[in-house]
Amino acid sequence: MTASLPAFTNYEAFRTWRADPAQWLPIARDIAHAHGLTCAAPHVFSTGTNLVLALDEKLILKIFPPFLRGQFNSERSTLAQLHGRLRVAIPEIVVEGERDGWPYLVITRLSGVLGAEVWPSLPEQDKECVLAGIGETIADVQRVPAGALAHIEPSWDVFMRGQIEGCRARHKRLGLLQKFLDGVDELLRDTAATLITLDGPPVILTGEYIPENFLLSHGASGWQLAGLIDFGDVMTGRGEYDLLGPSAIMTGGMPRRVRSLFEGFGYSAADITPDLKRRLMALMLLHRFGNPARQICIEGWQQKAGNLDELQDLLWPV
CATH number at residue 285: 3.90.1200.10
Same domain, yes or no: 231 and 166: yes
Same domain, yes or no: 172 and 262: yes
Same domain, yes or no: 231 and 88: no
Same domain, yes or no: 124 and 77: no
Task: Please report the sign of the dihedral spanned by the C-alpha atoms of residue 303, residue 304, residue 310, residue 313.
Answer: negative
Same domain, yes or no: 93 and 124: no
Structure confidence at residue 134 as a pLDDT band (50, 70, 90):
very high
With beta carbons less than 8 A apart as the criterion, state whether 295 and 311 touch: no
With beta carbons less than 8 A apart as the criterion, state whether 201 and 151 touch: no
Has residue 192 been placed in a domain?
Answer: yes
Residues of the domain holding 95: 11-108
Query: What predicted TM-score, i.e. pTM, was given to this entire model?
Result: 0.94
Rounded to an integer, what is the distance from CA 290 to the centroid of its chain?
11
With beta carbons less than 8 A apart as the criterion, state whether 68 and 104 touch: no
**3-class DSSP state of 48:** coil
Same domain, yes or no: 134 and 177: yes
Q: Diameter of the chain by CA atoms?
A: 65
Count the domains in the chain: 2
- Is 154 or 3 the better-scoring residue by pLDDT? 154
pLDDT digits (tens, 9 = 90+) for 110-122: 999 999 999 999 9
pLDDT value of residue 2: 66
Among 55, 85, 108, where does a domain finish? 108
Q: How many Cα atoms within 13 Å fall on the side-chain side of residue 133?
A: 24
Structure confidence at residue 98 as a pLDDT band (50, 70, 90):
very high
Same domain, yes or no: 225 and 138: yes
Same domain, yes or no: 85 and 120: no
**3-class DSSP state of 281:** helix
Cβ-defined contacts of 14-19 (< 8 Å, 24+): 14/65, 14/67, 18/51, 19/46
Q: Which amino acid is at 313?
A: D
pLDDT digits (tens, 9 = 90+) for 215-253: 999 988 999 999 999 999 999 999 999 999 999 999 999
Q: At a CB cut-off of 8 Å and minimum separation 6, what does 1 contact?
A: none
pLDDT value of residue 60: 96
Rounded to an integer, what is the distance from CA 145 to the centroid of its chain?
19
pLDDT digits (tens, 9 = 90+) for 36-82: 999 888 999 988 789 999 999 899 999 999 999 999 999 999 999 99
